[in-house]
Structure 1
Amino acid sequence: MKVEYKKASLGDIQVMQELVDPEVESGVILERSSDEMATNIRSYILAYVDGKLAGFCALHIHTASLAEIRSLIVDETHRGNKIGANLIYKCVDEAKTLGLQKLLSLTYRQSFFENLGFVEIQKESLPEHKIWADCIKCKHFPICNEVSLIKNL
């Protein structure tokens, strides 16, 4: 199995949405419109296995010191092959290059992120703009079961 990692382009949006659709439907990942994805296209890192999209995630910058790992998805057929972890490692490398100090994740997969060096924090410590800009779009709002985690870089 050959895995290639690359930055997303505008031409990738449709296949990205198709891959993430089941997780959006179940409420695990927030829906992102094609316009929103286009606006943030530089944030996405994609993983291709044998030329087919197998996963992606985004590094979304909130402040000069804080960014968030968003929309991590790996196709079910490729889970367990370290693709998700490698996508996170690539985001960590990019965050360090940019001079960020902390990475945030809101997730239902706490142990996955803890295995990558993230530690749980209280949701109340999240930036207020994060709550209103994204959380209000969630199917589960205002009852949130996601865990907030942070990684110091």
Structure 2
Amino acid sequence: MELYIRKARMQDVRGIHALLMKCADRQELLPRSLNDLYGKLRDFVVLASRDDEKVHGCCAFAICWEDIAEIRSLAVAPGLHGQGWGKRLVETSLSEAVMFRVYRVFTLTYVPGFFAKLGFKEVGKEVLPQKVWADCLNCPKFPECDEVAMILEL
């Protein structure tokens, strides 16, 4: 199976959703609704197979404010873990940050070791006020968030 990374397409939404829900069931990330995914589709890149275009991984790059963006919804199918696809998905998203000249990128994660290897540093959530007021207030885990906030200065 030959895999490649590309911008997400409308036909990918259900595959992205299924992958994210499986990861959420394993408490690797927070779930996202189909409605949210359709509305944020332009934020996503996917890892797809060339033969059938099936989604095997995804990552979103979301601009939060003029000087900060977020890497979110990073997921890779379990059978592909350890092959560098997660790193490549994040790097693809970080290239968008550079294109938009957004040089501070953060993530909220349950896997801080992965992001630390990419240069992200752990920070307190209080340094992310735009995120807290935009998304976190609507999260079922607020204010008892158990994700680790990390930031990368490009």
Alpha-carbon distance, 1:138 to partner: 3.5
Rounded to whole Å, the distance in 2 between the matches of 1:132 and 1:97 is: 26
Alpha-carbon distance, 1:30 to partner: 2.5
Between stretches 38-47 and 136-145, larger displacement belongs to: 136-145
Rounded to whole Å, the distance in 2 between the matches of 1:72 and 1:27 is: 13
Alignment check: 8 A CA contact 2:48 2:57 kept: yes
In the alignment, structure 2 segments of 5+ residues that lack a partner are none
Aligned to 1:114: 116
Are residues 131 and 28 of structure 1, via their aligned partners in 2, closer, same or farther at CA, if it must alter by over 3 Å? Answer: farther
RMSD over aligned CA atoms reads 1.6
Number of residue equivalences: 152
Aligned to 2:78: 76
In the alignment, structure 1 segments of 5+ residues that lack a partner are none
Alignment check: 8 A CA contact 1:65 1:102 kept: yes
Structure 1 runs of 4+ off > 4 angstroms? none
1:15-34 CA-to-partner distances (Å, cap 9, x unmatched) read 11111112223443232222
1:80-107 CA-to-partner distances (Å, cap 9, x unmatched) read 1101000000011111011111100000
Rounded to whole Å, the distance in 2 between the matches of 1:9 and 1:16 is: 10
Are residues 113 and 10 of structure 1, via their aligned partners in 2, closer, same or farther at CA, if it must alter by over 3 Å? Answer: same
The DSSP-based 3-state class of the residue aligned with 2:70 is strand
Rounded to whole Å, the distance in 1 between the matches of 2:33 and 2:46 is: 18
Aligned ranges 1:98-113 → 2 under 5 Å: 98-113=100-115
Alpha-carbon distance, 1:140 to partner: 3.0
Aligned to 1:91: 93
Aligned to 2:144: 143
Q: Is residue 2:32 matched to residue 1:32?
A: yes
Are residues 137 and 25 of structure 1, via their aligned partners in 2, closer, same or farther at CA, if it must alter by over 3 Å? Answer: farther
The DSSP-based 3-state class of the residue aligned with 2:4 is strand
What is the TM-score normalised by the length of structure 1? 0.90
Alignment check: 8 A CA contact 2:21 2:32 kept: no
Query: Between the two proteins, what is the percent identity of the paired residues?
Result: 34
Amino acid at match of 2:153: N
Aligned to 2:16: 16
